[in-house]
Amino acid sequence: MQLGTFWIGTERTLTKRRHYNLVFLHARRKTFPAFADIAAVLPEVWSWGEMAEVGEVASRLSHQFPADLVEAAIWKVVADAAAAGHLLLDLEQYTLSRMLPLALLPPDAPGLVPSPLLPEPETTKVLTTFRPPSSLIAGPTFDASTLPEPQREQFHRNLRAVEQVLAGATQRRVSEKGVSRVRRFHGW
């Protein structure tokens, strides 16, 4: 029980790396017939808190069970541990792989609480408290028509971005839209 605390991850709240890692782990949580047997001996070859690569842990049991089942069992144990807050790895910083050293907390340890999915950006705090004086005239204070064409395009692109952020859009979202427009324009 998490005492009413829920973390809801969507494509808008998760980084691509964390999303990939969570999908990767979720896909490996399904049980299979040999899992219980392998999971029972796993703590004998991979103690709680020990940093080890999945490939290395799998090799420790390869003489007792088929290698593919051993690796599947290890990933299921890792996925279940992550779901319980017992995976000692920042899923924001690292991409899961067979070669990445992992460590698990024991099942009776208190679970680790993940970092917030959407930390409040500093700019949001500034923008929510900013109130422009009512005497200002809306619009740019610079006549962009005096600029050469490439600079004029950049000026208007930047002006649109600032207006979108001031209207409440996140800087990240505005930036992503701008990059996709540039890619389409240049055929990238």
pLDDT tens figures, 10-61 = 666 778 888 888 889 999 999 999 999 999 999 999 999 899 999 999 999 9
Q: How far apart are CA 78 and CA 91, in angstroms?
A: 12
Alpha helix (H) residue ranges in 28-168: 35-45, 54-61, 67-83, 122-129, 149-166
Average pLDDT over residues 174-183: 58
- Where are the chain's structural domains? 1-118, 122-186
pLDDT tens figures, 112-164 = 776 665 554 554 444 444 455 554 445 545 677 777 888 778 777 777 777 77
Q: How far, in Å, are 48, 81, 162, 184, 188 from residue 65 at the CA level?
A: 21, 22, 60, 51, 48
Is 188 exposed, middle or buried, given 0-12, 13-18 or 19+ CB atoms closer than 10 A?
exposed
pLDDT score, position 117: 54
Torsion of CA 142, 146, 148, 153, to 10 degrees: 40
Q: Which pTM was predicted?
A: 0.58
pLDDT score, position 7: 59
